[in-house]
Amino acid sequence: MHTTSSDVHTPRQADDLAALRQLNHGFIRGVATADAAWFERHLSDDFLNSNPDGTMSDRAAFLRQVGRPPSISGLDVEDVRIRLFGDAAIIHGRTTYTCADGRRGAGRYTDVWARVDGQWLCAAADVTRC
């Protein structure tokens, strides 16, 4: 049975949702600050990222990508929806940011997390910029 942030049944689910909210915040902060070390700790070995341009990045390529200074600034997230599926979770969020030329931009992402040996790791991310 899936659990959403508005549908919490057990203390463990509440703890999981709190942990995932924190990890989601960390993911966004990690992108905004090019904090590759954060991603080293929180991406699974088989992590896959679907980039806005249609390319796919594996873990190593994503770490190189995210370690470069971002071309956007003021990255923020809203409308975050977290669903729990036992030891897996799906997070959707809407991003807003400022492009290099000063224009405001927005996007959406879908991240998949899984708990392994008690630790939540991100297994996949799909990113749209619009």
Sites of contact with another protein (CB under 8 A): 2, 4, 40-41, 43-46, 48, 50, 52-54, 56, 59, 79, 81, 83, 85-88, 90, 92, 94, 106-110, 112, 114-117, 121, 123-124, 126, 128-130
Amino acid at 82: I
Minimum Å distance from CB 112 to another protein?
6
To another protein, the closest distance from the beta carbon of 126 in angstroms equals 4
Cβ distance to another protein smaller for residue 69 or 103: 103
Burial code (b: 16+ CB inside 10 Å, e: under 16) for 11-27 equals eeeeebbeebeebbebb
Beta carbon of residue 63, minimum distance to another protein (angstroms, whole number) = 11
> Cβ closer to another protein: 39 or 69?
39
Q: Which of 70, 77, 101 is nearest to 27 (CA)?
A: 77
DSSP strands (E only) in 8-118: 43-50, 56-58, 73-85, 88-98, 104-116
Judged by beta carbon, residue 74 or residue 86, the one nearer another protein is 86
Question: Which one-letter DSSP state was computed for residue 102?
Answer: S
Kindly state the DSSP code that residue 71 receives in the 8-state scheme. S
